[in-house]
Amino acid sequence: MPLRKSSFIKNYKKKFLIHDLNNIKEAIHYAFKLTDNYGVNKINKAIFEASIKYNIDEDILINNIDNFFERNNNE
């Protein structure tokens, strides 16, 4: 298999894609809206659905949610 078609390379490239900050913020708000509907116990499901709807990697969305809370706690 050529190196360009390797799943490792594709996943590595996805981590370094620059996502639109507004798109990430919308996805975070959507995940919280879903969490309100599903309950806190299903937060992973809410994040997963938001990542699909906004075409953002789930890990990137989780990291941005963590950063969002860290920024608010530091202010």
**Integer angstrom CA distances of residue 19 from 14, 38, 67:** 10, 27, 15
Please give the span between the terminal C-alpha atoms of the chain, in angstroms, as a whole number: 50
Average pLDDT estimate for 43-67:
89
| Percentage of the chain exceeding pLDDT 70 | 67
pLDDT of res. 26: 92
Model confidence over 9-44: pLDDT tens digits?
A: 666 666 556 567 788 889 999 999 999 999 989 999
Q: In terms of residues, how long is the chain?
A: 75
Q: What is the DSSP letter of 44?
A: H
pLDDT of res. 16: 55
Residue 7 has pLDDT above 70, yes or no: yes
Q: Measured between alpha carbons, how far is 15 from 31 in angstroms, rounded to an integer?
A: 20
Cβ proximity of 61 and 28 under 8 Å: yes
